[in-house]
């Protein structure tokens, strides 16, 4: 999460390297460099116009998602459908990258409502079926 003073357009300088770092470290770097350039270009166009970018929201093992936020809060998260140490590792790498570029931010862990919902369902005792 970024401070309130940070706007999407403030991410334009770091986003190309951020996306490439995400793709490389998550093992999702496309072989075709042209595809990477297209991903960067389309996201940069949104950022330059101070709009929420797509991020990397393909149906892959890890996603870089910019959520729809109320107001002008700027944030993104890494998503994987199951809990994974890989998310923690990649989060630390990206946070270190942002710090090195002078981008103020804070990391919040386990804020995904879907994870909390899944955990509650897993802990709920199964209701017994009546004998027929």
Q: Determine the pLDDT at residue 79.
A: 87
What residue ranges in the chain does DSSP mark as E strands?
A: 63-65, 77-79
pLDDT > 70? residue 117: no
- Provide mean pLDDT across the span 80-93: 86
56 in helix, strand or coil? strand
Confidence of residue 116 (pLDDT cuts 50, 70, 90): very low
Cα–Cα distance measured from residue 49 to residue 92, given in angstroms and rounded to the nearest whole number: 28
C-alpha Rg value of the chain to the nearest Å:
18
- Provide mean pLDDT across the span 75-91: 86
What is the pTM for the complete model shown? 0.79
Distance of CA 76 to the CA centre of its chain: 5
Which tens digits make up the pLDDT trace of 3-51? 999 999 999 999 999 999 999 999 999 999 999 999 999 999 999 999 9
Cα–Cα distance measured from residue 123 to residue 10, given in angstroms and rounded to the nearest whole number: 42
Domain limits, the chain: 8-113
| In contact, 18 and 76? CB cutoff 8 Å | no
Provide the percentage of residues in the chain whose pLDDT is more than 90.
62
């Amino acid at each position: 999460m970024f401070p309130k003073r940070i706007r999407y357009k403030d991410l334009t300088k770091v986003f190309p390297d951020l996306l490439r770092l995400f793709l490389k470290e998550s093992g999702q770097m496309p072989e075709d460099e042209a595809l990477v350039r297209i991903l960067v270009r389309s996201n940069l166009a949104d950022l330059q116009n101070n709009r929420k970018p797509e991020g990397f929201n393909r149906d892959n093992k890890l996603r870089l998602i910019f959520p729809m936020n109320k107001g002008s809060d700027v944030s993104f998260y890494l998503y994987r459908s199951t809990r994974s140490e890989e998310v923690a590792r990649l989060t630390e790498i990206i946070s270190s990258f942002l710090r090195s570029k002078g981008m103020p931010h804070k990391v919040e862990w386990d804020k995904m409502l879907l994870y909390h919902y899944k955990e509650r369902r897993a802990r709920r005792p199964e209701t017994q079926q009546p004998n027929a």
